[in-house]
Chain A
Amino acid sequence: MNWLRAISIAALVLLLVPIIVLLYYGLGPFRNPAGYSVAVFRSIELSLFSSAVAVAVDVLLFTPLAYYLARGQDRLAESLVDIPISVPHPIIGVALLILDSPISPTGKFLLGLHINFYNTILGLVIALVIMSAPIYIKSMQPYFESREASAEDFAMGLGASRLRTLFSVVLPDSFDGLTSASLISMSRALSEFGSISIIAYYVLQYPFYGVSPASVTIWEFFSGNMSGGLEAAVTASAAMILVALPIALAGHFVRRRERLQ
């Protein structure tokens, strides 16, 4: 008998209990049509859309940082990356609110340019970028670190700067790493609640006018603001899991395959 394996499986089951409960009750005894209504699917759509945009921003903005962390020896920057997700998430929502409120100079400036975070897709996406970027970076950094540096050193010897090396040597050869990091951070963005419940409880913009992100909609059912109650909350949660789980699994599967190669 392999005790390590037994303990590991028990620990894993413990982790998965909430998901199993939601899937079982949501699709079984508690199934409630309000949980898979058009409103729920609109909110899942909004979550998918805003998370996908956030991940696109992650890739553009934070790939260089992940590479910098992987190849430089900047311990300070490395420890700073995690900070946004190590504070209570609603605080980030509050911070964005202050940043773009008429009471702050930055807010006056931004609002003067008609840039509004509150209840907009922009605010939603910015919050999701901040909450998913640390996961993206922490997924890309070890990927870069695990690559042999020899082609990069050669490219730099030929006269390429670090940035040029990243774009011309490393990235064209990093499709697997980029895909898996994107999927993993997308599933992180889909699961975000705290910050977006402050900055974009619902969106007041076409084509999602009056639509809340999926996690907020589930909360709405649970808190009784939307009719359907606990049963609808659990059913909507199960629907959300069915959408989000394949994305998370695909991300890890791609990474796993690339390790095996």
Chain B
Amino acid sequence: MIEASVRKKLGTFSLAADLNDGGFICLAGRNGSGKSCFMKAMAGQLPIEEGFVRVGGTDVTRLPIEKRGVVMVIPGSAIPHLKVDAHLRWGARLRKIPLDEERVAKVKADLGIDYGGRVRTLSLGMRERVSLATAILSSPRAILVDEAFSNLHEKEAFITAYRKLAGEAGIDVVFSTQDESDAKLADHLYVISEGKTQKRA
């Protein structure tokens, strides 16, 4: 469950966004609508002036990024010098969460990661798959996916698989998109425009 109510002024732009749901949530909006700002605020990368962020019942508003249990994934998230397998385990190792071979193999298979090697040598889409899988395997409370689904081929199949994995692990996911029709893959739809959110479904 993510409960966020965020007020933030950035120059002439003002963010007044609310979100109150669990599961797999689609956040749709055009360029400049405030999707990324809202997600950064929830992840702790952008300090907010007013409001709160609660994840799984815990108030994380004042917590630093690393203590929130919220992972934000963007297209450039992958850690370039790691090898794919080390990358996948990196977050779990950090949190001292034991990971068995089977689970890693399942996530890799479900998300179409059938390659290895250094992350820096991979294509953007391959790197995105690795970062998204790493996020799942680190068992956070929530994952915020900012446009990181958009560059993937067979996007719908990937999102469906991701939704299933996150659901099994009990992780809430918010993903942003410019394409409102992606909402059919989600449990809930929020539309954001000029910094304001509106729940549609």
Name A's B-contacting residues (CB within 8 A).
Answer: 148, 150-151, 153-162, 164, 169, 172-173
Can you name 20 A-B pairs with beta carbons within 8 Å? Answer: A150-B76, A151-B79, A151-B80, A154-B73, A154-B78, A154-B131, A155-B90, A156-B64, A157-B68, A157-B70, A157-B72, A158-B71, A158-B91, A158-B95, A158-B134, A158-B138, A159-B95, A162-B66, A173-B80, A173-B81
- B76→A159 contact, CB < 8 A: no
List of B residues within 8 angstroms of A169 by Cβ: 79
What residues of A have a CB within 8 angstroms of the CB of B135 in the complex? Answer: 157-158
Residues of B with C-beta under 8 A to A160: 66, 94
In the complex, are the beta carbons of B131 and A159 less than 8 A apart?
no
Segment 71-87 of B: residues with Cβ below 8 Å from A: 71-74, 76-81
Indicate which residue in A151, A157, A161, A164 contacts B78 across the interface (CB closer than 8 Å): A151
* Inter-chain contact total with CB atoms closer than 8 Å: 63
Inter-subunit contact A159/B66 (CB<8 Å): yes
Query: In the complex, which residues of chain A have a beta carbon less than 8 angstroms from the beta carbon of B45?
Result: 153
Residues of chain B with a CB closer than 8 A to A148's CB: 76
Q: 3 tightest A-B contacts by CB? A: A158-B91, A150-B76, A154-B77
The interface residues of chain A lying within 8 Å CB-to-CB of B77 are 150-151, 153-154
Query: Nearest CB to that of A151 among chain B residues?
Result: B79
Contact call B43/A157, Cβ cutoff below 8 A: yes
Instruction: Kindly list chain A residues whose C-beta atoms are within 8 Å of the C-beta of B131.
Output: 154
Given A160-B66, A162-B66, output 8 extra A-B contacts at Cβ < 8 Å.
Answer: A151-B76, A151-B79, A153-B45, A154-B79, A157-B66, A158-B91, A159-B67, A160-B94
Closest chain A CB from B61 CB (angstroms): 16
**B residues bordering A, Cβ < 8 Å?**
43, 45, 64-74, 76-81, 90-91, 94-95, 131, 134-135, 138, 140
Which of B78, B80, B138 lies in contact with A159, CB distance below 8 A?
B138
Q: How far is the CB of B66 from chain A (nearest CB, A)?
A: 5
- What is the bound-complex CA distance between A155 and B74, given in angstroms? 12
With a CB–CB cut-off of 8 A, which chain B residues contact A162?
66
Instruction: Name the CB-closest residue of B to A157.
Output: B71
When distances are taken between beta carbons in the complex, the residues of chain A under 8 Å from B74 are 150, 153-154
Q: Please give me the residue from chain A that is nearest to B143 by CB atom.
A: A157
For B72, what are the chain A residues with a Cβ–Cβ distance below 8 Å? 153-154, 157
Q: How far is the CA of A169 from the CA of B95 in the complex (A)?
A: 16
Q: How far is the CB of A125 from chain B (nearest CB, A)?
A: 32
- Distance, CA A157 to CA B145, complexed state (A): 12
Of A150, A151, A155, A158, most buried by chain B (CB within 10 Å of CB) is: A158
Residue on B with the closest CB to A162?
Answer: B66
Q: Which residues of A contact B76 (CB under 8 A)?
A: 148, 150-151
Chain A: minimal CB distance from B159 (Å): 19
